[in-house]
Amino acid sequence: MGQRASESINVNATPEALFAVVVDFAAYPSWVADLKQVSVLSHDESGAAQDVEFRAAAFGRSSTYTLRYDYSAAPNAISWSQVASDLTTKLDGRYRFEADGSGTKVTYELDVDLMVPLPGFVKNRAASRIMTQALRELKTRAERGA
């Protein structure tokens, strides 16, 4: 069974600026610590990246996974679902961007399950680490004015 988690952070940037950072996949290796390589494999009819392959450091090894992005709620949200992976059976998620005063409340929702069976508390710790790190790195990148 997958591990579902949600975490939020306030960022001093507009929802549109945050959305622009999130969809700039080519730049990810320069600001996402665990990512080593990102390749856009396909685009949708509007030209937006649809299937994106990531190579990341995970659990002491290198992992490759492909996510398919859904822009139907843009720029207030972006979601994705896993297409392929060598480590997870599920890696589905969503960022929501809600204007909040002079900044934006960013909520990261993640549903993850590993191929290797692990106790729930280990999965929970892994999901929490992924979200906390992703939100901190997104905040830093967006507030620097990417």
Structural domains in the chain, CATH included, are 3-143 (3.30.530.20)
Is the per-residue pLDDT at 59 higher than 70?
Answer: no
Residue 125 pLDDT: 65
Residue 130 pLDDT: 72
Q: Characterize the bridge pairing of strands 35-43 and 88-100.
A: unpaired
pLDDT (tens digit, 9 = 90+) per residue, 5-50?
899 999 999 999 999 999 999 999 999 988 999 999 999 999 999 9
Residue 127 pLDDT: 63
**How big is the CA angle at 48 (ends 14 and 105), to the nearest 5 degrees?**
25
Is the per-residue pLDDT at 57 higher than 60?
Answer: yes
Answer for the pair 57, 34: CB distance below 8 angstroms, yes or no: yes
Range with the poorest average pLDDT among 3-12, 21-30, 59-68, 118-127: 118-127
Q: What is the pTM of this model?
A: 0.88
